[in-house]
Amino acid sequence: MNRLFIIIIFILSLTLLLFACKDDIDIDDTTNNTQYSVSLYIEDDLKTISLTENILGINKTGGDLEMVVLNSFANAYRETAPQKAYFTALDRYGSLDITKIQVNSTDVEWQESSNGTAIKIGTPIIKNADEFAITITGTYQVPFSNLKFGLNEGVLNFTEVLPTLAVYQNDAWRIDNYSRIGDPYYAEIADYDVDITALNDLTIAYSGDLISNTSAENRTTHKIQAKSIRSFGFSASENFHKTIAYTSSEITLYYYSIGDDITDKFVSNALNALNTFSDLIEKYPYQSYSIVENNIYYGSVSCSNLAFIKASKDDAYKAHAIIKETIHQWFGLIVESDSIKSPWLDESLTAFLIDYYYFKTVDAKEFLTRRSNVKKEYEEYENNSTNTNFLITKTVYQFNFIYDFNKILHGKGSMLYDDLFYTAGSGAFDRIIRDYYLSNKFSIATLDSLSIAIRKTGNSDSAFIKGLDA
């Protein structure tokens, strides 16, 4: 009996150890991450940015490669772009004009994809599991826009335009059309070392951590490092007021506003959101998080470690947006889903968790009121809409308007989690969300990933899946 007891204890201990190892993924363990070393030189007028980029990757496709594909949405800002990033004509259009590409120190030819969103690079044969190095030089022409890439009223936004390795799926590189609806950026976790050289007066908010500043004459080079992130971006302006809103041994929260001092309650919202979801899911794994009030058209946008909030919005909107984009740091950026083909997977969960935040920080009454309002507003939308397709599982391309995208994914989609919450109970629901995160962090999740997390708590996923097709 004693021997059997010892064997059982050993097996249980080993099982716990294996699970602990899986959950404890260190962002500093970047062995398999693609490495990006980037140098950006911003001209004085902010209209032109010189690029030198070195990419160190590993062929993880399972076969030999004769072509590598990089994604960049910079050319979606051209006047002639097949899929345009902008809604109306611009006073100045944008692009990335590449002058040279080398693979393993050898000059190679390249061509732009027909949809303008990808760069196809012919390469010497790259054997499976071999490393390869790509060097790109070129120049960005910055458009006049307040979108994800552009210059408007002295604010320069730079997101989704660095050339990054396309995702390799089903024996092919993913080349996706641009979409002004949702988030068309789809990439794997990577490491970034970025040098940004700009005028001394330019204040820059960025993904990652500042390693050093080096000044010469009227310019400063900001050396930035970001490990295990999904997307790198920055926003820059001479008019930004930067505040270290909070700092501890674990994290520093930066808040950037245009001209004026920040409002304490926005800092509180950000800190409360970080603490709440660190407790619910897992501790925020990075050392910094920056929130920028700028002129972003969309109202709010997130990159890794960085959130843009539209400065002209009212306080209630800003508070909501800060919570939303903070949640996206966990779901959408650390745990990614296919944001083009399955945008509902992180959008609907995030929408529910915004209200769940109030369940955790205020009380059940506030949570129930908010969820009731979501249901009422969605029912009104569906009853009065000329739209006839309310399917949650549509791709971003199947939505005609941002309004429909928001109502269906943030409304109807989030209501799936109401049913799951009431069926499973709050304790089991918390375990579902945590397990879904821990099992898929720093990787790309699918519906199967979520179903597994639901079933692990002893709950059925059949009602959830059925609701997707309703």
pLDDT given for residue 260 in this prediction: 61
Token reading at 123? 């390469």
pLDDT given for residue 470 in this prediction: 76
In which residue ranges of the chain is pLDDT below 50? 1-25
pLDDT given for residue 5 in this prediction: 40
How many CB atoms sit inside 10 A of residue 346's CB? Answer: 23
pLDDT given for residue 248 in this prediction: 80
Token reading at 143? 């458009």
- Distance of alpha carbon 124 from alpha carbon 106, whole angstroms: 9
- Quickly count helices (H) and strands (E) in the chain: 10, 25
- Distance of alpha carbon 54 from alpha carbon 39, whole angstroms: 9
Residue whose C-alpha is closest to residue 152's, from 323, 260, 312 = 312
Is residue 104 within 8 Å of 65, Cβ to Cβ? Answer: no
- Distance of alpha carbon 304 from alpha carbon 329, whole angstroms: 6
Phi (first) and psi of residue 104, to 5 degrees: 50, 45
Token reading at 221? 């080079």
Question: Domains in the chain, please, with CATH?
Answer: 344-468 (1.10.390.10)
pLDDT given for residue 422 in this prediction: 93
Question: Is 5 exposed, middle or buried (CB count within 10 Å of its CB: 0-12, 13-18, 19+)?
Answer: exposed
* pTM for the whole structure: 0.91
Task: Render 353-397 in DSSP notation, one character per residue.
Answer: HHHHHHHHHT-HHHHHHHHHHHHHHHHHHHHH-S-----TT--GG
Task: Render 92-158 in DSSP notation, one character per residue.
Answer: S--EEEEEEEEETTEE--EEE-TTSSEEEEEEEEE-TT-EEEEEEEEEEEPPS-SSSEEEETTEEEE
- Distance of alpha carbon 435 from alpha carbon 450, whole angstroms: 9
Phi (first) and psi of residue 291, to 5 degrees: -115, 130
> Parallel, antiparallel, or unpaired for β 288-294 and 252-258?
parallel
Phi (first) and psi of residue 207, to 5 degrees: -70, 145
The answer for residues whose C-beta is within 8 angstroms of residue 399's C-beta and 6 or more apart is: 181, 182, 405, 408
Token reading at 183? 């988030």
The distance from CA 85 to its chain's CA centroid, rounded to whole angstroms, is 18
- Distance of alpha carbon 173 from alpha carbon 117, whole angstroms: 13
**Bridge partners for 451 per DSSP:** none
Token reading at 317? 């909107």
pLDDT digits (tens, 9 = 90+) for 252-279: 999 998 866 566 778 888 899 999 999 9
Is residue 47 within 8 Å of 141, Cβ to Cβ? Answer: yes
- Distance of alpha carbon 356 from alpha carbon 215, whole angstroms: 46
pLDDT digits (tens, 9 = 90+) for 73-130: 999 999 999 999 999 999 999 999 999 999 999 999 999 999 999 999 999 999 999 9
Which residue is associated with the tokens 């190095």? Answer: 133
E-state strands within 200-273: 203-206, 209-216, 219-229, 233-237, 240-247, 252-258
AA identity, residue 165: L
Enter the DSSP assignment of 331.
B
CA 198 → CA 10, 195, 238, distances in Å?
Answer: 59, 10, 11
